[in-house]
Structure 1
Amino acid sequence: MTKLIWFPVVASAVLIGYADHLAISQRPKNYMQMSLKSSEKVAELDEATAIKLSQTTKKIDAKAAFDLVWQLPLVQRKAREIKQLSQGTIQVSAIVYDYPTPDDPYYKVRVFDGEPEHDTTIYWFRVLNTGDVIEVLDVIDNKYISLREWREQLKR
């Protein structure tokens, strides 16, 4: 009688174990198929995203960043003012002194007067590598501000 009671228990345990074994052995196949399908979708998404980004994102070079700063009316006015006050002995110049990185996508441009003995910085600018944003360093607060804010400060 005890043999008859144990037989269904042992038989069901063996069948459950075999069913689990089948399910486990089929999982990697399903997982691989799942990952292949999802990677195809991701590849399609990446391809479409790359196309959109390349169409909308334009990068400028250091010369373009320099030109954007040098052509600002306030920079040109300061250059004329210094040249006039020094009777032509002091020239205002600019230089791109830092280039964009993945962490900091700005060109840094320094505007300075070039006296014979030394040079003195007049303004520091940063230009976004797309050319869309130009900011000037507020030396009092030690932060970059927009050109609009800068003009308002100069009016005061």
Structure 2
Amino acid sequence: MIKRITYGVIFGSVLIITGVVFLCVFIVFPDKLQEVLTEKEPVFICGTSNPPQKSAKGIEIMSTNCAACHKVNGDLGNGALKGIDKNYSAAFLMGYINNEDSLIKTNNNIVKRLHKKYGENDYKHKNEFTKGEIESLISYIVFYQNNRK
């Protein structure tokens, strides 16, 4: 009999605690819950706004993988990406961004010119981006360059 009462008290306590937690989540903190449940807008680096939908993934890729070394705009120089859409084909960029070493091994003339002009360093691009992700990245870079404040 005492075991039944003890289990009843424990079960009742768990129900009360659960109810209080839900009450806090849904009534006391509705803004926080709404913030957690809603999808966040992409964070635009460097003050850009309203990029095309195609660029959304490019913003993420740029800010998490590229921005430490590369400038999206500015004078051409080491790390500058100004005009990449005009100067290089999408096929070249795909190969260069995903596996620079393979282009170096094949003695690719464009890579040789880049290394001659900007110098070589120990970092070689080696990523696994899809064609769509690279197109999104290029779309973002072009959008940013054309809409820079």
Return the TM-score normalized by structure 2. 0.31
Bigger relative contact order (CA 8 A; separation at least 6): 2
Query: Which of the two has greater helix per residue?
Result: 2
Query: Which of the two has greater strand per residue?
Result: 1
